[in-house]
Structure 1
Amino acid sequence: MTDSLLGLDEPPQPQGAKGAYRVLARKYRPQTFSELIGQDAMVTTLGNAIKRDRLAHAFLLTGVRGVGKTSTARLIAKALNCIGPDGQGGPTIDPCGACEPCRAIAEGRHIDVIEMDAASHTGIDDIREIIEASRYAAVSARYKIYIIDEVHMLSKAAFNGLLKTLEEPPAHVKFLFATTEVAKVPVTVLSRCQRFDLRRIPAELLAQHFSMVCEAEGAEVEPEALALIARAAEGSARDGLSILDQAIAHAGMEGGAVAAAAVRAMLGLSDRGAIRDLFGLLVEGDAPAALASLRGQYDLGVDPQAVLRTLLETVHGVTLTKLGTTPAAGQAVEEVQALERWAAALSFPALHRLWQLLLKGHDEVARAVLPIEAAEMALLRVIHASQLPDPGELARQIASGAFQAPAGGGAGGPAPAPAPAGPRDMAELAQLLQDKGRFQLAQQVHDYLRPIRFAPPEIEAGTVRPMPREFAQELASALKELTGRAWKIALSEAAGAPSVRETIEAQAAAERDAVLRSPMVAAAMEAFPDAELSGWTRTRSNVA
């Protein structure tokens, strides 16, 4: 094996006059499986395989960048070749780190652990060297191990040349492959390997890990700043440590702890509180204030595309909250309360429409010559579209005749259509909800609301029984979507007039009494005391 195929990382620089600084991503690379965060399932499988002596001859490690593929490959090499402090040990999931094989592998100088970067050694000639060298026994280790990083970049000829050796390797050889694009690895290679999919590391685990790194480095970092870095890392420990390195250096220039505001400024992130304010303005339809909020963040250096991305995250968060999912760990109380408030006020169709409009705006801003102007137009489109019925509802209005066509028009185009006439009483309100498929709301209005003041778009009502806390908001949201007007629903402890159901039942009882009092029926009932009035159908509305 030529020198060009040796370790990817240079060994640690000796401390002395040179004293080269090692970045955090290299300094805190895991040296044991216990330090490998977020991959518990894989560690358990490997541990059981080692204990039962059921080791595969080839492993394929796949996952996004920075989750520990190459580090895991080196840990496996140490686990298989560890001989223990006394030199008598065997393969173990907890390599000692003190014996010569462990130290040599950790420093990238073990002659029997060969690393190759497939990105720069893609041809059949490079693989031929591996095939020839694999025939010879290990020099000093238990196993000769080949670690091939970014294996998907090998040429077709190189893959084909490797197949026979990969399928029937000598007993002293192990292959460890790492790749970020497993779909590009031929199926013939995949079928000959034991595959491990390394998962993205959860943000809360990354934040905990970064906190321990900061403590070891003697750096003071605000918890919110660590959370921001963890989210920006997108599941990659290496990316997160690189960002943390930059944040610590930034704070070192100014002195003091690493603040969340400094991390936001460094990453170009928008303040989540400002985004919540902006989202609230979009929901309320306040265009001037929304544009002013966007411009304020832009003047602070926030990328317009980042604003739209965070708004998309907010819509997603509201939707999950409406579904009843548990809030994410570390989520601010203010954010949880805001999401719950919007989840109660917005319907699923409205949230889906918000998502589509913001997603379209995000893509437009990414391609725009004038990003901030494109972002402003995207927000205006969201605000104006929120005042219109969705296409499905518009089609239902047209089919039912509730939609009124514009009267007149001229050279400038047709005049806007007037809003459809609203319900005139509680019965019509219940019927409207029933016709539009809001069956639960229709039944609640029909059975339980006792009108006190009915003056659309404002309704004040008492209730037959206690109603759910979010009922008034859900009813107002549904009516806004169905009628295009903002409604105000107030529930009172006052008695109010009878509900629609109570009115219908009272009318039915009065009609039954009138029938029983008629001379013919009264005479029949007197002649036949055990007789009952049968075949009577109580009159009621169509609302179930």
Structure 2
Amino acid sequence: MPGEARAAATPGAPAAGYRVLARKYRPSNFDDLIGHGPMVQTLSNAFATGRIAQAWMLTGVRGVGKTTTARILARALNYEVEGGASGPSVAMPELGIHCRAIMEGRHVDVIEIDAASHTGVSDIREITDAARYKPVSARYKVYIVDEVHMLSTAAFNALLKTLEEPPEHVKFVFATTEIRKVPITVLSRCQRFDLRRVDAGLMVKHLSGIAAAENVVVDDEALALIARAAEGSVRDSLTILDQAIAHGGGRVDGAEVRAMLGLADRGRVIDLFEMVMKGDIAGALGELADQYDTGADPAVVLSDLAAFTHLVTRTKLVPASADDPSLTETERERGRSFAGTLPVRVLARAWQMLLKGIAEVQTAPRPLPAAEMVLVRIAYAADLPTPDEALKALADMRGGAAPGRGPAAPGGSSGGGASAASTGATTARAPQLRSLPTPAGAPAGATARLAPDPAAAPRPAEAPVLAAFDDVIALAAARRDIGLKVALERHVRLVRYEDGRIEINPGPGAGPNLAGELGRKLTEWTGRRWIVAVSREDGAATVQERRETQKRSLEDEARADPLVSAILASFPGAKIVDVRSVLDEPLPGLGAPGDGPLPPDYGADGFDPDAYDLDAMFRDLDDD
């Protein structure tokens, strides 16, 4: 414990072996424990009221005092002073009969077991068999099982019965760093205490007391560096302090600790941070190279930069964070200065880039160039706006309106600005539509389709008129959305059609989002809202089915014609491939329909079969 006097050397006696600080200043009672007040309070109340549990589970990271706490707990359970009151006690002002043997790990009734090397059922069987016998000299027989998570599943099962109903003279204390690996059946039979990491400020105070007891001069910066490097582990901090005392020859300062641990100078890290935030890339690269030449690890430098970025962010949001005793005066003052000037968005972006950069440097074949590239990215991004700021600046450049939106004009119509220009450009690119004659045999509800009219002049303000469902298909074709056009023709049965509302019954081949896609695109193309609903009614035939029906009807009519019938009979295997109107194709030597007056012998349909000698034609074919 702190303040422990060294044993005086006896002349002629062999020199005692050196005890490292982590063992020399190991706490021996609850008053010496640091950072575990809630656990001490719970045990104190339990001992005072006689509500002493049968088993305790101590968990935490390495070096926070799990095994030490277990020994102190065993000592408190068996605390006994000659001629004094007998009974478990948290207050142990002097050494009792069993205290020294327990703290040195050699008491016969306090059995310490390393579960890492005793993992089997046979080892647990020894505990359960010996637990039946009363302690030799102490009040309780205490079993301390270190790293209990290393026990096998069978060993845990073998321990359950004894752990649940142990003899009155048996207590169990378990310690583990992997609490998730302990079965819940074991945890439910124990009182659990989570030993937390020791706060850096409390660690600095503890190390300062030990340094004073060792008559070693350690400056505040060195203590802060040691406490920060220990990451909340008391044992690690004492080990680093022991090494620093040996490294410095009895005097420890911040420079010696940085050199020993391979850390960068905190002041130089802050200078590097300032250069990066200013965008001084040349200076930042030079500073990183200098730190690398003095032995600093590039990954450690970036880690220190990330830690200082976090410090500045916390100081900006919680100003009291700068009063942490583990911080040096330079970190405290310059951290406050940066917090007053740097926005949170810059700090947050630098933090994210440093996190990714540290991983890159750790895995890069050449860490220094990788670290330099990280600094280059941060420096170039330091003064860049965030996406929302860029959008706001773009809107200001366009006259104060958000991008893509124009100011509202009277009457609810869009006025000038980006939106109006965009809408006008889109409408101007839309092809103009013209109506075609309604095909023969089409359903009564069908109207003439819409097709592009290349001769029509573009009229941006005029939206297409969709009087029927066929107009919708024609609009999809005009917009060159072939996928939607084919889906509407082949897989959609029309149930109802109204202006602004369509009810359809999609077929098996239709996509799951066809209705939503159609409504969205119609709204976009026409500039007004369209609702497309899915109905369970059968609906009308699809456009493809109507076309096939019409084609079959025309083929039947053509097949019934005497001339076509005679041709089919004269040529075995011949079949009708397609039926076309003569109005759609020009006749040989006559030009296109409508190009001029027809001969007087033409019929009403533009073709006079009497004008040809069919018998002569067939005789010529037979001769051939």
Question: TM-score under structure 1 normalisation?
Answer: 0.69
Q: 1:268 aligns with which of 262, 276, 289?
A: 262
Corresponding residue of 1:413: none
Q: Is the partner of 2:314 in helix, strand or coil?
A: helix
Matches of 2:186 and 2:174 in 1, distance apart? 10
For structure 1, list consecutive stretches of 5 or more residues without a partner in the other structure: 1-11, 403-419, 436-544
Identity value in percent: 55
Corresponding residue of 1:316: 310
Asked if 1:286 is matched to 2:283, the reply is: no
Q: Is the partner of 1:21 in helix, strand or coil?
A: coil
Matches of 1:264 and 1:86 in 2, distance apart? 53
Relative contact order: is structure 1 or structure 2 higher (C-alpha 8 Å, sep ≥ 6)? Answer: 1
Offset of 1:324 from its aligned partner?
2.6
Corresponding residue of 1:134: 131
Offset of 1:343 from its aligned partner?
2.1
Offset of 1:160 from its aligned partner?
0.9
Q: 1:154 aligns with which of 139, 151, 156?
A: 151
Asked if 1:42 is matched to 2:39, the reply is: yes
For structure 2, list consecutive stretches of 5 or more residues without a partner in the other structure: 1-6, 406-624
Which of the two has higher C-alpha Rg?
2
Corresponding residue of 1:528: none
Corresponding residue of 1:181: 178
Offset of 1:87 from its aligned partner?
5.3
Corresponding residue of 2:381: 385
Q: Is the partner of 2:145 in helix, strand or coil?
A: strand
CA distances 1:91-111 after superposition (whole Å, capped 9, x unpaired): 110235422211210221110
Amino acid paired to 2:28 = Q
8 Å CA contact retained: 1:203, 1:235 = yes
Amino acid paired to 2:17 = A
Offset of 1:259 from its aligned partner?
1.3
Corresponding residue of 1:335: 331
Matches of 1:55 and 1:267 in 2, distance apart? 45
What pairs with 1:42-441 in structure 2 (closer than 5 Å)?
A: 42-86=39-83, 88-252=85-249, 257-326=251-320, 327-330=322-325, 331-394=327-390, 400=395
Corresponding residue of 1:445: none
Alignment CA distance shift 1:85-1:304 (3 Å): farther
Offset of 1:199 from its aligned partner?
1.3
Question: TM-score under structure 2 normalisation?
Answer: 0.60
CA distances 1:145-204 after superposition (whole Å, capped 9, x unpaired): 000001111111111111111111111000000011111111111111000111111111
Amino acid paired to 1:170 = P
Matches of 2:353 and 2:370 in 1, distance apart? 13
CA RMSD of the aligned region, Å?
Answer: 2.2
Matches of 2:152 and 2:387 in 1, distance apart? 51
Q: 1:21 aligns with which of 18, 26, 32?
A: 18
8 Å CA contact retained: 2:224, 2:328 = no
Amino acid paired to 1:335 = E
Q: Is the partner of 1:100 in helix, strand or coil?
A: coil
Bigger CA drift: 83-92 or 119-128? 83-92
Matches of 2:246 and 2:256 in 1, distance apart? 11
Offset of 1:393 from its aligned partner?
4.2
Bigger CA drift: 219-228 or 362-371? 219-228
Q: Is the partner of 1:65 in helix, strand or coil?
A: coil
Offset of 1:395 from its aligned partner?
5.7
CA distances 1:359-380 after superposition (whole Å, capped 9, x unpaired): 1111111111111111001101
8 Å CA contact retained: 2:62, 2:177 = yes
Offset of 1:335 from its aligned partner?
2.5
